[in-house]
Amino acid sequence: MSDTTDNKKGQGTIFEVNPKKAYNTNDEVASTSYDSSSGSISETEESKGGFKGWFHNFIDGFKRYDVGEIDPNLTDIERTAVIAAKAPLKRKLKSIHIQMIAIGGAIGTGLFVGSGTALATGGPASLIICYSLTGAMIFCTVQALGELSVAYPVAGSFLSLCNRFISPGWGFMISWNYAMQWLIVMPLELVAASLTIQFWNSSVNPGAWVAIFYCTIVIINLFGSLGYANVESVLSMIKIVAIVGFCILGVVLNCGGGPNGKYIGGMYFHNPGAFNHGFKGLCSVFVTAAFSFEGTELVGLASAETQNPEKVLPSATKQVVWRVVLFYLVSLTLVGLLVPYNDSRLLQSSSVDVTASPFVISIENAGIKVLPSIFNGVILISVISVANSAVFGCSRTIASLADQSFAPKWFGYIDRTGRPLAGVGLALLFGLLCFLSATPKEAEVFSWLMALSGLSSICTWGTICLCHIRFRNAMKVQGRTTDELSFTAISGVIGSWFGLILNCLVLVVEFWISLFPIGSKPNAKAFFQSYLNVVVNIGLFIIYLLWKRRKSIVWIHGKDVDLVTGRKKVDVDLVRQEKAEMKAYIRSRPWWYRTYKFWC
């Protein structure tokens, strides 16, 4: 059986399916045997039921999924597009999974703990300004990502799309940049989890807790994308409830309703003040804000494993605004009102020490005894959640690297149940660095690991915005319109330009802060620990140019961009009709419903 399309440049290629494999309607692999004489496929005895059949299917599920032959005459860009479109990742994720990943997936130590460093460095006003601007940028970025992911629900999402919308060199750089980010996040978060436990019990060696959390992550990821999504949904719900509860409690405490009964109001905005370290302090908060939103783009990366991306992703990307407004701005505004930026506990430790969390400090200041332990439990859950997301993000990125011929082919090993086993294995292998927590050089090692991934998200988000700009430009040059898109970004191309420019400004500002750090003289170690990621990215781009030499493509012109391969087939007239009907229906409903549909 074969499904063929025109295999001219930019027009797709031949998709072949091995006749010795049969698949049921929900994309699960059926255990089969092939009768060469009759050409029929029949069910084996082992697959008819019982423990033997279950065990056989379980073992068989680890075998490699065969995507068929690829036309050897295709260019590197065309080959990448075809493989991304044919990737055997299973579409098991439902609407609730994607929505929970979008709403709570990135809430972790960046918000709960890292915001304490930002508060101490820049003051409460800087916290609100920087998180507001970063939140607006994230909203525009995720909207752009939603439009691209709905139009091209392919494996690797923006990683494979920037390979054909911008250039292969840029795709090589950003894909390895993104892989490094998640490779490093997992061991960091597992160490953070062990440190969180020490809030209750410091007598047990941190390595023991690291081992427990590591095994937990391994077990979760054996169940593939559905296992990750189910666990992430539960953990995200806990984080959401905790944030909403803190916002309510924060208002009560600020008004003097706590055990201490002291009205606070805006006192700390006057003494010690709204800003700290002036403009440089304000600029330094941008990087912490970016780290807090890390992982937002996972919604797009999950598009290739979503059951109905054209219906689910638009709603999920719109809901980012709720996370920005409620979970970040409201909670951090309350934190700024409840905790002065000169509180000594904010400055006493690294970004993974829960005792430096402004959320916990505000509760302790109010004289509440039990609640700090409960909130530390939420922080522990958040840390495990981010570590779990790291394996998901890293494994899909590793597979995408192989699909794009940027890494050995075995990196792209995906089994019959849709698990990118090579990527998962590599992520878990690198995750063993978490056991460095038992060494005296732990702090120095992790400082340099953080330096490798510190600005990774900024580069990733800027690339997503640039991809969207290039996509719209290619459509315009090739005579296409947005009428053929089932979902378009609310922020449009203007939002992508805003996101791209702001990301570039953050890189410039961070260069200044890294070169002239607050409170100390310029030194090479401080600079590279803050800016190493950008230096590595430049090195990756140069490596690609040297690797490909004359075959390297630095920039793809709009007229040459492939807008067809991997594109979800749509009836343009039907899409226009459905859009018109939906707009007419929404206009007929009350204002509150129209507002809800606009944002959700």
Q: How far apart are CA 225 and CA 546, in angstroms?
A: 36
- Residue 278 is encoded by which pair of tokens? 């002036």
Q: What are the phi and psi torsion angles at 93 (to 5°)?
A: -75, 135
Predicted pLDDT at 404: 82
pLDDT of 446 > 60? The answer is yes
pLDDT of 41 > 70? The answer is no
Q: Which of 194-198, 233-237, 390-394 has the lowest mean pLDDT?
A: 194-198
The residue type found at 477 is V
Q: Where are the domains of the chain?
A: 2-60, 76-569
Mean per-residue pLDDT over the chain, rounded: 78
Could you report the per-residue pLDDT of 298-351, keeping only the tens digit for each? 877 776 667 777 777 777 777 777 777 778 889 999 999 999 998 888 865 444
- Residue 568 is encoded by which pair of tokens? 């979800």
Q: How far apart are CA 154 and CA 159, in angstroms?
A: 10
Enumerate the β-bridge partners of residue 15: 3
Predicted pLDDT at 493: 94
pLDDT of 7 > 50? The answer is no
Q: Which of 55-59, 150-154, 401-405, 548-552 has the lowest mean pLDDT?
A: 55-59
- Residue environment code for 21-50, b if the CB has 16+ CB neighbours within 10 A, otherwise e: ebeeeeeebebbeeeeeeeeeeeeebbeee
The DSSP secondary structure of 84-147, one letter per residue, reads HHH------B-HHHHHHHHHHTT-SHHHHTHHHHHHHHH-HHHHHHHHHHHHHHHHHHHHHHHH
Q: How far apart are CA 303 and CA 568, in angstroms?
A: 12
- Residue 374 is encoded by which pair of tokens? 């409960």
Q: How far apart are CA 399 and CA 412, in angstroms?
A: 4
- Residue 223 is encoded by which pair of tokens? 């169940």
Predicted pLDDT at 30: 36
Q: How far apart are CA 324 and CA 84, in angstroms?
A: 31
Q: What are the phi and psi torsion angles at 467 (to 5°)?
A: -60, -45
Is 463 in contact with 471 (CB distance < 8 Å)?
no
Q: With the C-alpha atoms ordered 135, 132, 288, 341, is the resulting torsion angle positive or negative?
A: negative
Is 67 in contact with 86 (CB distance < 8 Å)?
yes
- Residue 566 is encoded by which pair of tokens? 């991997």
Q: What percent of the chain has pLDDT over 70?
A: 78
- Residue 259 is encoded by which pair of tokens? 């055990």
Q: What confidence tier does 463 reach under pLDDT thresholds 50, 70, 90?
A: very high
Q: What confidence tier does 471 reach under pLDDT thresholds 50, 70, 90?
A: very high
Predicted pLDDT at 448: 79
The residue type found at 11 is Q
Q: How far apart are CA 132 and CA 142, in angstroms?
A: 15
Q: How far apart are CA 301 and CA 392, in angstroms?
A: 9
Q: How far apart are CA 577 and CA 572, in angstroms?
A: 9
Q: Which position has the higher pLDDT, 246 or 192? A: 246
The arrangement of secondary structure in 76-569, i.e. its CATH architecture, is: Up-down Bundle (1.20)
Predicted pLDDT at 4: 39
Enumerate the β-bridge partners of residue 64: 415
Could you report the per-residue pLDDT of 221-251, keeping only the tens digit for each? 888 777 888 888 888 888 888 888 999 999 9
For residue 32, the surrounding DSSP H or E stretch is: strand 32-35
**How far is CA 126 from its chain centroid?**
25
Could you report the per-residue pLDDT of 176-185, keeping only the tens digit for each? 999 988 888 8
- Residue environment code for 284-322, b if the CB has 16+ CB neighbours within 10 A, otherwise e: bbbbbbbbbbbbbbbbbbbbbbbbebbebbbbbbbbbbe
Q: How far apart are CA 469 and CA 355, in angstroms?
A: 43
Q: What confidence tier does 9 reach under pLDDT thresholds 50, 70, 90?
A: very low
Q: How far apart are CA 4 and CA 15, in angstroms?
A: 6
- Count of H-run helices and E-run strands, the chain: 25, 4
User: Of 10-24, 57-71, 394-408, which has the strongest mean pLDDT?
Assistant: 394-408
Residue 330 has what DSSP assignment?
I
**Helix, strand, or coil (residue 470):** helix
Residue 270 has what DSSP assignment?
I
Q: Which residue has the tokens 């409690």?
A: 249
**How far is CA 179 from its chain centroid?**
11
**Helix, strand, or coil (residue 418):** coil
Is 289 in contact with 131 (CB distance < 8 Å)?
yes
Q: How far apart are CA 586 and CA 165, in angstroms?
A: 34
Q: With the C-alpha atoms ordered 573, 574, 576, 577, is the resulting torsion angle positive or negative?
A: positive
The DSSP secondary structure of 479-531, one letter per residue, reads T--GGG-S---TTHHHHHHHHHHHHHHHHHHHHHHHHS-TTS---HHHHHHHH
**How far is CA 491 from its chain centroid?**
20
Q: Which position has the higher pLDDT, 234 or 596? A: 234
pLDDT of 20 > 50? The answer is no
Is 273 in contact with 119 (CB distance < 8 Å)?
no
Predicted pLDDT at 82: 58
Enumerate the β-bridge partners of residue 415: 64
Predicted pLDDT at 74: 62
pLDDT of 34 > 50? The answer is no
Q: What are the phi and psi torsion angles at 526 (to 5°)?
A: -65, -40
Q: Which residue has the tokens 């494979």?
A: 160
Could you report the per-residue pLDDT of 65-116, keeping only the tens digit for each? 555 566 666 655 565 555 555 555 556 677 677 777 766 666 777 788 788 8
- Residue 471 is encoded by which pair of tokens? 């996509």
pLDDT of 154 > 70? The answer is yes
Mean pLDDT of 349-363: 70
* pTM to 2 decimal places: 0.81
